């Protein structure tokens, strides 16, 4: 089911922060970032160094709406320097 008349309109999303994230680090505090995806548009917040379980981002992103596409995917990752980034969680 599509939402009529949304094609080309803008959606502004503010990534405020996260609360009570799963901790993927054993020794140090995790460095989370948020990845947003809507259609072919992809955005990433800055890495919140030592953000731990409750990082704050306060970053805005603008998406151009696409007729019939109703899901914005959000994923949270922990940035690692020497290994692959760790997946923390996702939502839609």
CA–CA gap between residue 48 and residue 46 (Å, rounded): 6
Domains in the chain, please, with CATH?
Answer: 17-56+69-91 (2.60.40.150)
38's CB contacts (< 8 A; 6+ apart) are 11, 63, 66, 69, 71, 72, 73
pTM score, whole prediction? 0.89
pLDDT in tens, the chain (92 residues): 445 678 889 999 999 999 999 999 988 899 999 999 999 999 999 999 999 999 999 999 999 999 989 999 999 999 999 999 999 999 99
């Amino acid at each position: 089911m599509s939402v009529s008349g949304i094609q080309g309109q803008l959606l502004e999303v503010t990534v405020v922060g996260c609360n009570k994230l799963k901790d993927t680090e054993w020794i140090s505090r995790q460095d989370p970032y948020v990845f947003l995806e809507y259609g072919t548009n992809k955005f990433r917040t800055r890495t919140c160094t030592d953000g731990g379980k409750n990082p704050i981002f306060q970053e805005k992103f603008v998406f151009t709406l696409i007729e019939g596409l109703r899901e914005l995917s959000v994923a949270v990752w922990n940035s690692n320097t020497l290994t692959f980034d760790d997946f923390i969680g996702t939502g839609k």
